[in-house]
Amino acid sequence: MKDRKFSTVLLTLALIFVLFAGACAPAAPAAPEAPEAPAAPTAKALPDEIVVGVVQPLTGSFAVFGKEGQIGAELAIKHINEAGGIKSMGGKKLRIVVEDAGGTADSAKLATESMISKNRPVAILGEYISRFVMAASEVTDREKVILIADALVPQITQMGRQYLFRPGPTATNHGAMAYQFVKETAAAAGVEVTSLAILNEDSANGRANSLGATEAALKDKISIVTTLEYPYDITDATQIVQQLEKANPDVIIHTPYFNDAIVFGKAFKETGYYPKFIAGAGACGYVDPASIAALGDAAEGISMTFSYNPAKDTPQNKKFVDEYKATYGYIPTEGAGMNYYGAMVLYEALEYAGTNFPDDPLNPDNLRASFLALDLTSGPAVETYPSNQIKFSPTGDNLFPGVVVLQVQNGQPVVVYPADGAEAKPVFPNPYYVAK
């Protein structure tokens, strides 16, 4: 009996111990809840209109070029909007805003700062003069705004700028093309050319054009009898023309701007000195409508390289040329053409960004990536570009630059080179040349 009572007590104590231990033991941890899935990124709302800036010299010595550039950009934006805007962004339209770059690099830089602070454009087209572009690109890179440059000096794309793109050719491309044109045209005409004089205004642009011509000529063992520089604001070129006559080159390759081309054209006419040919390089002066109007028959026979081909036989280029001519009475100039196809390259990049970066297509890094991804062989940009392809290098240069040559014939600028697509055959030698 005692044993049974003892066993009962032990059993009771054991049960109490188990219950007590269970109560004191820590609770088992609850199973962790599954983490919430990250929210899908929200697409950034697009503005009502996409702002595009134009900063060009609209006053000062270079205004003739800047005004033409503005016209070309405005026509391109008009045509883009008429065709439905940026389709990959729901047909968003472009709105153009314009700022005067003035006549110096400092004023161009200030104008670019003003443009960005007031309007925050996705891109800026401009600023024609190479030193203006160099100054402005400091601002656009700092602010992460795409700059589509229409200037020629090679160094523009050698400064490490991340948001700068140049669809057009370089100044050295122009100089080399001027020489190539002379070489092939002289050979076709049976005219011997063994010597050149190199003449340029004393900026980086003038020197780069002259370097391109000089290097190309020296490869063919052509003699460079003299190389002359002068300030672009020269007012009397008589002494320099006399120096050229004394050097007696077969051909002069000249890189002017606008006013100096008029000064030299008149000096050639007044002195009566003409070599076998005067070939312009660098896309400024002699063959544009304003130069022809100022020079009259003194412009006859002079040629000039262009970064734009007004004779290119494509639907988009015909549309541009026809509307431009109907409005202004003459064909598009170099500046107008470069800014037209520059705006069309922007259009292609925006379409790419809308398709490939739909959540934030106007983000400057996404837009930059879109420019670098372009490889255009058709479309409105290529239809108005001198070559048939546009693809940018990592530094922002077009890997397929195009240059054509125009010559003044019967008072009109006509495309004469390359032969494929030319409007007329070159007149060579110069009609005023008299063999001695």
Per cent of the chain over pLDDT 70 is 90
SS3 call for 365: helix
Per-residue pLDDT, 436: 74
Per-residue pLDDT, 342: 99
Residue 58: left (phi > 0), alpha (psi -120 to 50), or beta? alpha
Residues contacting residue 373 through CB under 8 Å, at least 6 positions apart: 352, 356
Q: Over the chain, what is the mean pLDDT?
A: 92
Closest by CA to 61, choosing from 156, 132, 147, 125, is 132
Amino acid at 21: A
- Give the Cβ contact number of residue 228 at 10 Å: 16
- Give the Cβ contact number of residue 391 at 10 Å: 14
Q: Which residues make beta-bridge pairs with 415?
A: 406
Reported as a single tens digit per residue, the pLDDT across 274-306 is 999 999 999 789 999 999 999 999 999 999 999
Closest by CA to 240, choosing from 271, 209, 203, is 271
Closest by CA to 302, choosing from 338, 251, 339, 343, is 251
The Cα 290–Cα 126 span in angstroms is 20
CA 29 to chain centre: 66
Phi, psi at 322, each rounded to 5°: -65, -45
Q: What is the DSSP letter of 292?
A: H
Reported as a single tens digit per residue, the pLDDT across 49-100 is 999 999 999 999 899 999 999 999 999 999 999 999 999 999 999 999 999 9
Reported as a single tens digit per residue, the pLDDT across 236-264 is 999 999 999 999 999 999 999 899 999 99
User: What is this structure's pTM?
Assistant: 0.89
Which residues of the chain are modeled with pLDDT < 50? 1-31, 37, 39-40
Per-residue pLDDT, 61: 87
The Cα 111–Cα 56 span in angstroms is 9
Inter-residue contact 166 to 137 (CB < 8 Å)? no
Domains of the chain: 49-169+312-391 (3.40.50.2300), 172-306+404-417 (3.40.50.2300)
Inter-residue contact 212 to 171 (CB < 8 Å)? yes
Inter-residue contact 228 to 199 (CB < 8 Å)? yes
Q: Which residues make beta-bridge pairs with 56?
A: 100
Per-residue pLDDT, 41: 58
Q: At what angle do helices 130-143 and 204-219 cross, to 10 degrees?
A: 110
Per-residue pLDDT, 27: 44
Per-residue pLDDT, 35: 53
The Cα 55–Cα 40 span in angstroms is 39
